Every structure is written in C-alpha cells, then in structure tokens.
Amino acid sequence: MKLSNTSEYALRILCFMTKDENRLYSAKYLIDELKISDKYLRRLMTDLTKAGFITSIQGRDGGYKFLKSSGEIYLADVINAVEGMDKYTGCALGFCECSDTNPCVMHSTWVPVREEFLKAFTTKTIRDLDIMTVTKY
C-alpha cells in the first residue's frame, strides 16, 4: 500500500509545480528541490509530456510547464501515464480472472479497500492535494 517510486515521483513533481502554476520549471531546478535523480526525473517528465499534462520547451532557457490545468489532472491519470493502474486495481491475490461472480478468497475483503482507493484517485486532482499545508513534496 505504498505507491511505486515511479508514481510517487510523478505525483510529487506535478504537485510541486502547482506552487506557481504558470511558471516554467527546468529539470535542474526540480531535481534540486525534489531530490530525484537526474535521469529518472527526465524520463518521467517525458512520460508526463507525452500524456499531455505538461509541455516541454527544448533548447536554452527551456523547461516544463503545465499544458492542462492542475485541476483537470486526476491522480489516476498520472499513474496511468507512468506505469498503469492495473497493479493498483487488481485482485489482492493476483488472480487475473477474479471478479464478483468468480471471486477469490480475499475478494469480499478487498473490494471495499479497492473502492476507497479508486474513489480517492479518480475524484481527486493534482490541485486537490494538500499543497498549502505542507513543506515536503
């Protein structure tokens, strides 16, 4: 029940960028502020760009800035962009054919947990995160 580093980083980056939503952020600056390694962050930025959340400006004085409003970027969308939600929405025991009509032993136990997870990640956007009350990203 911890997100993968990949999803964690993606959410932290986008969230951090809402501090000044119209600013252009260089990779260098994000790396320093968020303590994420250079190449890993750049790879994620490319994924987030391809997903259409941000746009990248190449060349000198380049960087990244929001293309969509942070209020339109759902948490589940971010996870889908960098690794896919499958891992988080599947059967607790990994049975690929698990369903309400063909449940595994954990099914009824797991359903409410998964529902709560899905509710949070499909209704909350990057803008809804606790940006103002927080010092750690």
Residues found near a second copy in the complex (CB under 8 A): 1-3, 5, 8, 11-12, 15, 75, 87-95, 98, 102-110, 112-117, 120-121, 124, 128-131, 133-134, 136-137
**60, 100, 134, 135: residue in contact with DNA (rule CB under 7 A):** 60
Would you say 53 and 67 are in contact if contact means Cβ atoms under 8 Å apart? yes
R_g over Cα of the chain: 17
CB of 84 to a second copy, least distance (A): 12
Token pair, residue 133, equals: 């009350």
1 binds DNA (CB under 7 A): no
CB 72 → a second copy: shortest distance, Å? 17
Residue placing its CB nearer to DNA in the complex, 40 or 123? 40
Helices (H), the chain: 5-17, 27-34, 38-50, 75-82, 86-89, 107-123
**Other C-beta atoms within 10 Å of 108: how many?**
10
Contact between 125 and DNA by CB under 7 A: the answer reads: no
